[in-house]
Chains A and B, each alone.
Chain A
Amino acid sequence: MIRIDIERVAYDYPGGVRALDGVNLAVRPGETLGIVGQNGSGKSTLVRHLNGLLRPTEGQVLLDGSAVERRHVAELARLVGLVFQDPDRQIFAGKVRTEVAFGPRNLGLRGAELDRRVVEALEVVGLAGAADENPYDLGYSRRKLLAIASVLAMRTPIVVLDEPTTGQDLRGVARVRAIMAALAAEGRTVITISHDMRFVAETVRRVVVMRAGRIVLDGTPADVFAAANWNVLASTYLEPPLAALVGARLGVGSTPTEASLVEALGRADVDAG
């Protein structure tokens, strides 16, 4: 399993826009991390440094102590799987099965092992029945799940999901959450970018808040969404989940999820009784 160290990373897009401005972030193997922040705060730019799609203007990104820029792209592809926000930037094959097979085939897999990878990945995202369809005959939400399957089939120790719940209904969101939990249970590192504070609060162990290319908050959902940080969240136009507002108003501490709110109120009732 792989440790990630992002050290003093700055990144300037061609044309001079500074997208990252001195980011320090260490992610231990097996962590589940959520990155939140406004559009343009640097979230996607940051994760694109993990698989070498972007190279830092300043600073360095280390995977297990070795700088990403010194590793070959093919080697990085074995370590970091990145699911793009827009599935249409990722999907190119004429068949669902071929799309999912592309990555593991490039890792050198063939025959039964390759088939097994494809079938398993499609089953996990619920697309086993669509293996012979054209990806562009699938709706947006299923194309999004297909993009996830293509990365799962690579079995990388680090999986990055950029806005995985966009366009998903309740069942789709539950499926994404289950996929992330299963990856975490296998000890793999899962990083997700999301605008959905409730999804983040309920799904990850650690939340990082970005503003203008910098990390401004870093902690558990209970830490980050605690009342003491609401002014920092507001400075980047984020609101804590409603459960956190209710918990703070009722004086039962930081309750970023409905389950934690119910639990904290239950405890308070017992204490009062």
Chain B
Amino acid sequence: MSLVLAGVRYRYAGSRTDALHGIDLEVPSGSVTGLVGPNEAGKSTICLAAAGLAPATIGGHLEGVVSIDGVESSSARPHELAQRCGILFQNPATQLSGTAPTVWEEVAFGPRNLALPGDDVVERVTDALAALGIESLAERDPTRLSGGQAQLVALAGILALRPALVILDEPTSQLDPQGTRMVGEALRRLVRENRTAILVVEHKTALLDQLADRVAVVDQGRLIREGPTDEVLSDPALSEHGVEPPPRVRVRSALAGAGLRTPREADVLIAELTR
């Protein structure tokens, strides 16, 4: 079991109310859990708690248990946590080191801080850039990238760390459809080849539909629902929690709702078209 949150309550420093009200969530090794919910539901806060940044780095008060690979985050040192868990923030501008002259050096920043041998660093950086199709950015200045490019470079920096747990807060928000597909493929490969556990916040339910094993719905700091992806994303109650169902589910509902196809017929047709 890679990531476990048990009864996690969290209150930001200076706040009078809890942002999370008792979250129980497990993300096993070699699997992807998608986190969905309306804006300000607590999704990013769950990411910060899961990564051990809340409260260790940003303050506040946490009750309950967060553990990564059986080690409680509260008893681990920051550098130990950093080796186990990589987190990608919502805004790549807050992620990039600001010290690297090139994208290549930016991606190498993490592995170098793990004191890895030079050859390993080169291999990891090369692999991470290739996995996201951004080899051509290697010599670019990280401060002069578009939002989408910066997002891919920040993600490459996480991939190069090869952590057992990867936490991603809207990793594709600024990406075009092609970039989104490449991120999906890179994450699938990470799970398949390295048995990584991935927790990903994502508004694009079409991506989760293809990527996630399970999906958790969060609203007002509470876990409303958690289950297999197809079950959760097909739930008609999803949109009540500010989550747009994936295209497959929307088209199926539209056809069935108008009495034009049975849900089964619609599923067969959509499966054929999206194969």
Give A contacts to B, CB under 8 Å: 37-40, 44, 85-86, 88, 139-142, 163, 166-173, 195, 197-198, 237-239, 241-243, 245-246, 249-250, 258-259, 261-262, 265-266, 269
Contacts and interface: CB of A to CB of B under 8 A. Distances in A.
Given A237-B178, A245-B273, A170 B242 contact: yes
Interface string B197-216: 00000010000000000000
B39 A163 contact: no
A271 B260 CA distance: 14
9 contacts: A39-B175, A40-B146, A86-B91, A141-B39, A169-B203, A242-B273, A246-B251, A246-B270, A262-B254
B203 A168 contact: yes
Interface of A is mostly: helix
B40 interface: yes
A262 B260 contact: yes
A262 B269 contact: no
A170 B38 contact: yes
Which 4 interchain pairs have the tightest Cβ spacing? Answer: A237-B178, A242-B247, A39-B148, A169-B242
B194 interface: no
Contacts of B147: 85-86
Given A167-B170, A168-B39, A173-B244, A242 B146 contact: no
B274 interface: yes
Interface in B252-275: 254-255, 257-258, 260, 269-270, 272-274
A83 B38 CA distance: 23
B60 to A, nearest CB: 15
Contacts of B239: 170
B179 interface: yes
A166 B260 contact: no
Nearest to A199: B244
Contact of A163 (B149, B174, B247): B174
Contacts of B179: 39
Contact of B90 (A167, A243, A269): A167
B176 interface: yes
A249 B271 CA distance: 12
**Size class of the B contact interface (CB-based, 8 Å):** 35 or more
B270 A242 contact: yes
A258 B251 contact: yes
A223 to B, nearest CB: 20
A187 B248 CA distance: 35
B242 A249 contact: no
A227 to B, nearest CB: 12
B251 A261 contact: yes
A38 B182 CA distance: 13
Interface string B223-265: 0000000000000000100111001101100110110100000
Contact of B260 (A139, A171, A266): A266
A195 B272 CA distance: 24
A262 B146 contact: no
A173 B250 CA distance: 16
B269 A249 contact: yes
A254 B125 CA distance: 44
A262 B91 CA distance: 38
Contacts of A259: 254
Given A242-B273, A243-B251, A265 B258 contact: yes
